[in-house]
Amino acid sequence: MYINAIGYYIPEKRVSNEYYTETMGLTDEWIVQRTGIKTRSRARDDENVNTMSVDAVMNALPSLPYDMNEVDIIISATYSPHDTVGTAAHVVQHKFGIERTKAFTMSSACSSFVNAMEVIEGYFAMGKARKALIVGGDKNTAYNNENDPKAGHLWGDTAVACFFSNERITPQDYEVLDIYTEALGCLGKGPEGIRLRPLDGGLSMPEGKDVFAQACTYIPKNALLLLEKRGYSFDDLSYFIAHQANMRIVKNIANSHHLPEEKVLSNIEELGNTGSASCALLLAQNKDKFKKGDLVCMSVFGGGYSAGACLIKI
């Protein structure tokens, strides 16, 4: 399984911590100390998951080595759909005129993108697809409860688009060495840890301490599972990408596994928690930094609970 092209879209607007000082009395120092966030990306009123997904695809197209009509399956990976009927996958299909393809949306909270990768891996293995596209992203601010002092200040809006094939197309393709995902609904606070109930409080995180503890456990655990399966260790990684939920989580993992700062990629300070797009967005943002032969691990943890990791050879 190979990544042929990757692109992204990040809204221009940034919301600073001072906004939450004015609205909720949370100081910049308080927010930075607990989350590492200084600003977060904010989509315009006329932007949503569908429009941002289209923009992310446009960003990826210049490096796509084949015609988009060769795509056999499109998956929108999101938990904040703009429309539950006309999904982002169908909007992308319509916008780019991709005929004779499968298209649907799937959600496993912040793990959605990696879960979508595993679904594509299955379609490839069954011979039901040869090329695929994931559009992952969230407009968290469409659902966010900004009056929630626990989590109202966390969220950012972005989208990412990633094209895959079942065989290498060009020497520049990234090879997906392995993927693993798991549902953790029986763990800790499970489905009550993070919620998105549009008519009942919106997006919230009532069990933040439990989320923190489980993320610190399962993000490195699943990364190590894949590394050891392939005969690697954390020392062999060129770069590590953890879900951008909280900088304290990222630093806890890095310190526990002796990962030097230059190997740990992050964007939460500027963009906030960008949900489903989080890890893949960092992969897209840093593509000019990677060199041939680099080993990159993405590991995610999301509400529900859910988790997963993938190992990529550049």
Give the integer Cα–Cα distance in Å for 68 and 34.
Answer: 43
Same domain, 191 and 297: yes
Same domain membership, residue 37 and residue 149: yes
Say if residue 155 is in the same domain as residue 270.
Answer: no
Q: Are residues 193 and 261 in the same domain?
A: yes
Residues 117 and 135 placed together within one structural domain of the fold? yes
| Residue 124 shares a structural domain with residue 242 | no
Residues 159 and 178 in one domain: no
Both tokens of residue 149? 């002092």
Residues 10 and 145 in one domain: yes
Q: Which residue among 165, 199, 215 closes a domain?
A: 165
Do 36 and 6 lie in one domain? The reply is yes
Each residue's pLDDT, cut to its tens digit, for the chain (314 residues) gives 999 999 999 999 999 999 999 999 999 999 999 999 999 999 999 999 999 999 999 999 999 999 999 999 999 999 999 999 999 999 999 999 999 999 999 999 999 999 999 999 999 999 999 999 999 999 999 999 888 888 999 999 999 999 999 999 999 999 999 999 999 999 988 899 888 999 888 898 888 899 999 999 999 999 999 999 999 999 999 999 999 999 999 999 999 999 999 999 999 999 999 999 999 999 999 999 999 999 999 999 999 999 999 999 99
Q: Which residue from 288, 293, 62 is spatially nearest to 174, judged by alpha carbons?
A: 293
Cis peptide before 2 (omega within 30 of 0): no
Q: Looking at the structure, tell me whether residues 33 and 153 fall in a common domain.
A: yes
Instruction: For residues 71 and 183, state if they share a domain.
Output: no
Q: Are 238 and 263 in contact (CB under 8 A)?
A: yes
pLDDT, position 183: 96
Give the domain extent around 299. 174-313
Q: At 179, which CATH number?
A: 3.40.47.10
How many domains is the chain partitioned into structurally?
2
Looking at the fold, whether 286 and 246 belong to one and the same domain comes out as yes
- Out of 139, 165, 191, pick the residue that ends a domain: 165
Global confidence as pTM: 0.95
Q: What sections of the chain are H helices per DSSP?
A: 17-24, 28-35, 49-60, 88-96, 112-126, 208-229, 247-256, 268-271, 278-285
Q: Give pLDDT, residue 231.
A: 97
Tell me which of 123, 147, 165 is where a domain ends. 165
